Amino acid sequence: MSIPPTMKATAYRSTYAYGNHIRVKSAETNLVTMDSGVATKFGTPCRSNVNDRNPIEVEVEFVGYVEEILELNYDNTCVIVLLCNWVRANHRGAGAIMKRDEYGFTLVNFNHMLPI
């Protein structure tokens, strides 16, 4: 991928990628099922204060939904890019953004989206 992709990107409302069916959120308005949800964990260094010289690696969890699905063409290969809106998962306290109910389902308050 040392050369840039072609100037034309293909947009999709839904696709099969990475072994999953993925759909953009705007395509789910009248549907019973939802396939636009995404979740990930990132490792990031965390310091106790500015002078801390020994940061520890912590996992930060994010959940969100797919806004756009783009396919970029690099001569011999294509890459699927998911443009997503994210919420940082906070499980603690009364103001928790993400909770798990008694059946194991994840409940997310999407009123706290991260700025783009």
* Digit-coded pLDDT (tens) for 23-76: 999 998 888 878 888 888 888 888 888 888 888 998 888 888 999 999 988 877
Instruction: Say if CB 60 and CB 41 are below 8 A apart.
Output: yes
C-alpha angle 38-41-45 in degrees, rounded to nearest 5: 150
pTM over 0.75: no
Residue 69 CB-density burial (10 A; 0-12 exposed, 13-18 middle, 19+ buried): buried
